Structure 1
Amino acid sequence: MVNKYEVTQVATNQFHFQRPTSEQAQEVAIYVITSPDERPGELIVKTNEDEITVEVDATNNRPYFYIQTEKEGYTVAERTLPVEGMNNFRDMGGYETADGHTVKWGKLYRSDHIHNATENGVSYLNKLGIHTIIDYRSDDEISKYPNKRLTPEPKTVHLDPAAHAAELAAQFQSSKENEDINLITKIIEQQKAGTLVNQADVVLKQYRVFANKDESKRAFAEMLRVVAQPDAPAVVQHCRGGKDRTGFGAMLVLGVLGVRKEDLIADYLLTAKNREERNRVKMEGYKKLTTDQSVLDHLYSFIDTKSEFLEASIDTIIETYGSIENYVTSELKITQEMIDTMKELYLE
């Protein structure tokens, strides 16, 4: 997205536009639109500034913005959406592909589980036109944390990649009340037995497993087949926190569409920013259960977001198959027709 505006809602109805500094200032017109396909919409400002904040009423509908320059026009929107109760619901639109196309806004979403959405959050989600939900959580997770119901009710597809580290598997199988203490107990048991490995290595292994474990391959292959269905959009894929399982799934979708590796990593790392407060609260809870710093460090690795985690998945794929597209066609048995359909559905 070279020299294109990015937009963030910094306060209610206050939208901040920012782009890399221009070598030569040029005037642009910013229009507010109610759908990504609308052109050009209601003019809200003309400016040659690289940074500007404007007020737009976002009470009833999610706004998109059409930017008209002297040479081109393009659509932008806020990426992380203000879904009350959730911290990581975001739009995967706006990324450019290596061959010059752009991922459409409002068609592909990724998120944490919808269990935490408040009544206002559900009302917001109901306006996004979500047709398909892909839920990567295990049966245990779903039974403990059922998603809030959206209307009209989307089609929900449950796909469990079954690629958790042993410690996390123990946590997911626990009751709500015992999740944290059981996770800590598992770590301490491994520590005493001398089998506890470096916490980052545990997560890195999990990301490599996504690419080559049979259960994971079946789940993510089915995800791509669902996403490739013409009636699938808008699609939201999610796990519990929207980081690991969702991170791999989102990378596959954007990678198949042709988004560059650096943008795949950038999209993944937004989870770190979105979950800062959530992680702080989570660690405060862990500290009430253990004062062992090595255990706390291990716990933090499971909620941390580092570029090398997703890079482990991408590099595993590239080293073996040469490209993400080759991986999904040869290993996940996704046909070229499905890939072409995805590009027709989600690129402009």
Structure 2
Amino acid sequence: MTLLPLYQERRIRMEGASNVRDLGGYPTSFGRHVRRGVFFRADSLHRLTERDQEELVGRGVRSVIDLRHARELQESENVFASSGRLAYHNVSLFNPADTATTDLGRLGDLYVDMLENRRQPLLRVFELLSADPREAVLFHCAAGKDRTGVIAALLLELAGVAHEVIVADYAMTAACLTPLMEELRRTRPESVSAELYERFLGAEPEEMEKMLAHLAGRYDGAEEYLMSIGLAPEQVEGLKKKLLGA
């Protein structure tokens, strides 16, 4: 699958962020398309300009879910955290510094580990995503790749988007992050080796493929997984309607 047209079509140009994208527009197995302007994925929002903020508000974003750890919030505060312009929620999915102390050989292992060992925060994220069917939501982490990528993949899988398309959406992050690579390298936690950190900066398709294979093999997809972590059936159905329309 050619990534460039998909990347150009969904990327939202920002002065203070590099990886802001509309999750909508993808075809689904139901013969429909994921709705545009409903869910947005992004990297860190701490450098958004006033124009950037107006752009997101103008696109209907009314709620922001920040997936970063407390240490990251202290170093790079989200511009919406105390502005009052949007509803702001912080749900930490993991501490990047902890990757040095876990037995994870690759990013795909990290994503599977998140599914199995971060069930409560993931439940909270999906409760927020399903809270208001009329509300556009933006979710983000530091690079908009790992934590954000897992949430995006679960949403797209729930909507019936083909796995190869979900993988392509994930891999687009590599192109988006090119301007940020040096900054990301400077923020490497001291507890994480340079070699490991460099490997974890990538967005290779096989990493997301591993997570999706686990999701399909153990849960038969996102719907069963979300209900297994505690999302109510009516919330799951509400999310599907939000993704696809009534």
User: Of 298, 310, 315, which residue of structure 1 is paired with 2:213?
Assistant: 315
Partner Cα separation in structure 2 for residue 7 and residue 159 of structure 1: 27
RMSD over aligned Cα atoms: 2.8
Match of 1:154 in 2: 86
Aligned to 1:82: 13
More strand by share: 1
**Which of 65, 68, 87 is the matching residue for 1:134?**
65
Aligned residue type for 2:19: N
- 3-state SS in 2 of match to 1:117: coil
Q: 2:166 aligns with which of 241, 264, 268?
A: 264
What CA deviation, in whole Å up to 9, does each residue of 1:146-171 have, x standing for no partner? 111387621112111226463568xx
The match for 2:112 among 208, 211, 216 is: 208
1:45-64 maps to which residues of 2 (within 5 A)?
none
Kept in 1: contact 2:7–2:172 (CA 8 A): no
Q: How many residues align?
A: 238
1:339 to 2:236 alignment: yes
Question: In the alignment, residue 307 of structure 1 is paired with which amino acid?
Answer: P
Match of 1:279 in 2: 181
Q: What is the one-letter code of the residue matched to 1:205?
A: D
Contact 2:69 2:95 in 1 (8 A): no
Tell me if the contact between 1:211 and 1:316 (Cα under 8 Å) persists in the aligned partners.
no
**Which TM-score applies when normalising by structure 2?**
0.85
CA offsets 1:190-239 (integer angstroms, 9 cap, x no match): xxxxxx98xx81433211201100xx111111211211123562100101
2:242 maps to amino acid: L
% identical aligned pairs: 25
CA distance in 2, matches of 1:320, 1:80: 32
SS at match of 2:139: strand
Shift of 1:296: 4.3
Unmatched segments (≥5 aa) in structure 1: 9-77, 170-195, 287-294
Where do 1:1-348 residues align within 5 Å? 8=8, 78-149=9-80, 153-162=85-94, 164=96, 166-167=98-99, 201-213=105-117, 216-231=118-133, 233-280=135-182, 282=184, 296-329=194-227, 331-348=228-245
Local SS of the residue matching 1:147:
coil
Return the offset for 1:126.
2.8
* Other-structure match for 1:74: none
Question: Do the aligned residues in 2 keep the contact of 1:165 with 1:206 (CA within 8 Å)?
Answer: no
- Given that 2:65 and 2:90 are in contact with CA atoms closer than 8 Å, whether structure 1 keeps it comes out as yes
* Contact in 1 for aligned 2:33/2:244 (Cα 8 Å): yes
Q: Calculate the TM-score normalised by the size of structure 1.
A: 0.62
CA contact (8 A) 1:218 1:332 kept: yes
- Residue 95 of structure 1: how far off its partner (Å): 0.8
In 1, Cα distance between the equivalents of 2:97 and 2:242? 35
Q: In the superposition, relative to structure 1, how do residues 6 and 334 fare at CA in structure 2: closer, same or farther (>3 Å)?
A: same
Give 1 or 2 for the bigger CA radius of gyration.
1
Contact 2:39 2:137 in 1 (8 A): yes
More helix by percentage: 2
In 1, Cα distance between equivalents of 2:176 and 2:242: 28
